Amino acid sequence: MQPSNEATRHGVCLAIFDLGVLLIGDSGIGKSEIALSLVDRGHQLIADDAVTIKRNAEGEVMTSCPGVLQDFLEVRGLGILNVRKMFGDSAICRQKSLSLIVRLERFSATDLPHIDRLHGLHHEEDVLGVTLPQVTIPLAPGRNMAILTEAAVRKYKIREAGYYTEQVFTARQRAELAKKDQ
């Protein structure tokens, strides 16, 4: 069966460092607040709450905003914000190819110690027949989620350029241990 060429997905989509990034997670987890922080940091809002996703003829997964929601961001306690009016035209991106999915998730205190600290929580997700990388960022009080989201995007970009942090770190540790064994 051929995958669909169009879908609507719950989440917030942004252009971060010129890459399309979809924030997903449970309702009320803070996606829109993180998006507001990212827009304030100079990134662009594509869509809040409902993200239109289409696979184009080249096989790219393109994201955009349903017309009725264009420019708007809903933040609990503040209500509906018009991002274009608040931050200017440059704060809005009409569409972008989706490169990375960032899942925001609450972890219990007993689950947090079991996260792989070297590799993190990286998976792949099928979106309209295209496999895309997904990283999960655990939510916790005091964490700066905007900076962590930016870091996830930067890590993705350098990985795409062929730099694998975990491999470099592990090789450095092995070299240090080899020195001590001599």
Residues taking part in catalysis: 10, 31, 49, 117
Give Cα 128 to chain centroid, integer Å.
18
Judged on CB neighbours under 10 Å (0-12, 13-18, 19+), 169 is: exposed
Buried b (16+ CB within 10 A) or exposed e, 97-126: ebbbbbbbeeeeeeeeeeeeeeeeeeeeee
Q: Is 172 helix (H, G, I), strand (E, B) or coil?
A: helix
